[in-house]
Amino acid sequence: MKKTIVLLSMLAMIACKKTEEKTEEPGVMDAVEGFNNISKAGDALKENEKQLEALKTMTPVSNEVLKEVLAEELGGLKRTRFNAGDASMMGLTTADAKYGDEVTGKEIEVSIMDGAGETGSSIISLTIMALFMNVETINDTETKKTETIHGFKCLTEEDENPDNISSSITFIYKERFQVALKGERITLDELKSFLKELDLSKLEQ
């Protein structure tokens, strides 16, 4: 219960910060929306409480499994880098890979974090709450919102600035793994197609 209160407090501070960034004088509807989002986040956390407790006792997947998921090619782009275990000192099992095309300059970075263990489950808790908030913000060429992609509840970001096109997608797979894709010189629609090519089924083994 104490952990839930702490997480909700952190989320409340984030929500207030977003409101301040949006306008210096938020109206009543802005405040109501903010509190509704916090309520949704709290409900999502309660619904997943049993799974989050179970994650604490689970054994993380091996680096070998993560390397298989982050294969040598993704949607025609070759893997140019792979890292695993960089966050092991913090009690986290993570891996990331970069894919690119030298001709077009397109790059995608895919990262996976296993929510197994105390630290991992805490991060998954925060991600769950963020995903269940009804978010949509537009700042010039940048858009950030929650949406459903290929059956996954996702947090997406896109910058349509022609000089700096970028996008990202973050979601939770099988109530355990936090998966994030970040694209440079890649639109959000393009990144969605790359997500469809990512085979996460090996994480279930």
| Tens-place pLDDT, residues 29-42 | 454 444 455 555 55
Residues 6+ apart with CB under 8 A from 81: 97, 98
* Beta strand segments in 54-106, E: 73-74, 77-84, 93-100
Q: How confident is the model at residue 135 (pLDDT cuts 50, 70, 90)?
A: confident
What is the CATH architecture of 54-204?
3-Layer(aba) Sandwich (3.40)
Burial category of 70 from C-beta neighbours within 10 Å (exposed 0-12, middle 13-18, buried 19 and up): buried
User: What is the percent of the chain with per-residue pLDDT over 90, rounded to a whole number?
Assistant: 63
Domain boundaries, the chain: 54-204
Separation CA 17–CA 75 (nearest Å)? 37
pLDDT tens digit sequence for 46-89: 666 888 889 999 999 999 999 999 999 999 999 999 999 877 77
Separation CA 51–CA 58 (nearest Å)? 10
Residues 6+ apart with CB under 8 A from 88: none
Token pair listed for 34: 């903010």
Indicate the average pLDDT of the chain.
83
pLDDT at site 108: 99
pLDDT at site 48: 66
SS3 call for 57: helix
pLDDT at site 10: 42
Of 5-19, 121-135, 155-169, highest mean pLDDT: 155-169
Q: Which residue has the tokens 């501070």?
A: 13
> Whose CA is closest to 133, among 151, 147, 122?
147
pLDDT at site 9: 38
Adjacent-strand bridge partners of 178: 113, 172
For residue 97, CA distances in Å to 56, 68, 167, 180 come to 26, 11, 16, 11
129-148 average pLDDT score: 91
pLDDT at site 44: 56
150-170 average pLDDT score: 96
Q: How confident is the model at residue 18 (pLDDT cuts 50, 70, 90)?
A: very low
Separation CA 187–CA 166 (nearest Å)? 6
Separation CA 142–CA 140 (nearest Å)? 6
